Structure 1
Amino acid sequence: MILVNLLLPEESLGEPRAQVVQIMCGNQLPHNATICLQNFVETMENLSAQVPNLGFGKAVGGAGLDTDHGLVQCYGDLSLPECVLCIAQARIVIPHCYPFNSGKVYLDGCFLRIIIFFKSILDKVTRQSVSFAFHVSARQAVVQAVSAAPNNNGFARSQVPVSRTNESAYVLADCWRTLSASSCRACLQKHSASILGCLPWSEGRALNTGCFLRYSDTNFLNPIPINGS
């Protein structure tokens, strides 16, 4: 146990949130399975090399009909060491889509996409029903996060207290870094109404091509780093 503690990064203040939320695979076989696998390995190595310094990565492998495109990104409240752990878990999961030629994995702290995958999902987490006061706070928190994210490198977090209680509504909004500010705004605005359709449940996620939204009555957000940690 002592050895494990010594190996943990000192600046890691939160959790990597590496729980798998959704895995989605394509239904088409690749043009050449052998070349596809080789390109996949190359692309994943390229993506993983970018994550420790950026918390983000994009890569293209192969050529012609066998070209694959990869994208990984951690949500903005993860530190770089936490991001590395989250993406490592995503790398374990994404091969479940093989031999199909596309896949997307969403974890609580990051996502990984290979090739092109056209799908959006709305995840209703039916933990418990919440009060009308929480409805009001959740809507306000979503509006705040959606408004702030496009001008904050595509990331925002929001906390709004629930009237006459000790509770709060917590929201995280995150756009792919490949999106411009205007595209980020359009994506979040489009799907903010969808995620609020999860009410009256106490948690909801909107996992979309281009952006991500989550609200909860539980504080799932990692601590804000202090003094550069």
Structure 2
Amino acid sequence: MHLPTLGLLAAVAAFVADQATKAWALSTLWPPYSCGMGVLPVLNLRLGFNAGVTFGMFRDSAAGAVWVLVAVGLLVVAFLGSWLWRTRSGAEAVGLGLVIGGALGNILDRLRRGAVTDFLDAHYGGWHWPTFNVADIGIVCGGSLLLISADGPGCQARNASRERRLASHDPPPNRPPRDRNHADRDAGAGHPSGARSGRALWHVA
């Protein structure tokens, strides 16, 4: 399969899963910030809204900067898309697709509601991780795949190609400076005029 197509499929899967689960959370877990429902000893489903970035970071400072976050998110998606188009690694393509799909899911939330819909509440011993969503999971998993594939075949192929290009443009090795007398003798030996001049000087002497 064409690697950019593989990444695009991963992006679509992450985006659709994120939007479908958010729609379910909005219809089932309303009102927001309630006790929610427990599904595991370490996981609750509890609706909330995040005006910051992933996992609630910079929530207070970013509350009034929705369009800035949207613009930054779109720039990141554009950069990752260009990277996806050039990738030579399947793991890298899937990782980029997951990050792109998750980022687009959160960007769409900001455009619709001014904040990202979160509903996954992980906790342990009274400590709660900031509420997150499926898009955040896609971003984290995709980023992890990119880190893992950093030393994989795709990266090795790029490094080998870069080394071949550099080798083909290497300057010739430095030669030691030649003695001037040797250069003069070589010039005389290589050129008839030089040889005649040498003989003329000999007869004059």
Measured against the shorter chain, the TM-score band is under 0.3
Larger Rg: 2
Q: Report 1 or 2 for greater relative contact order, CA contacts < 8 Å, sequence distance ≥ 6.
A: 2
More strand by share: 1
Report the TM-score when normalising by structure 1.
0.24
More helix by share: 2
